[in-house]
Amino acid sequence: MPSTPRWVEAINKALSNPSNKGKNIYQVATVDARNAPHVRSQVHRAFTHPDGRPDLPLLLTSTDARTPKVLQLLANPAVELAWWMEGTQDQFRLSGFAHIVPASPAEPDTSFRFAPIPADALALRTLEAQAFDWEAKRLELFQQMSPGMRASWCVPGAPGSAIGSYEEQKEWPSQVPQEPQTEEDKKNAEMASKNFALMLIEPVSVDWVELGVKPNRRTIFTRREDGGWTEQLAIP
Ligand X SMILES: Cc1cc2nc3c(=O)[nH]c(=O)nc-3n(C[C@H](O)[C@H](O)[C@H](O)COP(=O)(O)O)c2cc1C
The contact set with ligand X (CB under 6 A) reads 25, 38, 40-43, 61-64, 67-69, 159-160
Whole-angstrom Cα distance, residue 138 to residue 192? Answer: 12
Beta bridge partners of 26: 42
Backbone angles phi, psi at 43, to 5 degrees: -90, 130
Q: Which is nearer to ligand X, 40 or 186 (CB)?
A: 40
CB-based contact 88:14 (threshold 8 Å):
yes
Cβ atoms of 79 and 30 closer than 8 Å: yes
Please report how close the Cβ of residue 152 comes to ligand X at its closest, in angstroms: 9
Q: Report in angstroms how near the CB of residue 38 gets to ligand X at its nearest.
A: 5
Nearest residue (CB) to ligand X, 153 versus 221: 153
Give least dist CB 159 to ligand X, A: 5
| Of 52 and 157, CB closest to ligand X | 157
| Spatial separation of the C-alpha atoms in residues 164 and 185, rounded to whole Å | 26
Size of the chain in residues = 236
For residues 89 and 83, give the distance between their C-alpha atoms in angstroms, rounded to a whole number.
Answer: 10
Min dist. Cβ of residue 40 to ligand X (A):
3
> Measured from the CB atom, is 36 or 235 closer to ligand X?
36
Which residues have C-beta within 8 Å of that of residue 36, sequence separation ≥ 6? none
In this complex, which beta carbon is closest to ligand X, that of residue 158 or of residue 220?
Answer: 158
Give the nearer residue to ligand X in terms of CB position, either 25 or 46: 25
Q: Nearest approach, Cβ of 141 to ligand X (angstroms)?
A: 11
CB of 30 to ligand X, least distance (A): 7
Q: How far apart are CA 113 and CA 70, in angstroms?
A: 9
Of 187, 229, 232, 206, nearest to 5 (Cα)?
A: 229
List, in order, residues 6 or more apart from 49 with CB less than 8 Å away: 55, 56, 57, 58, 123
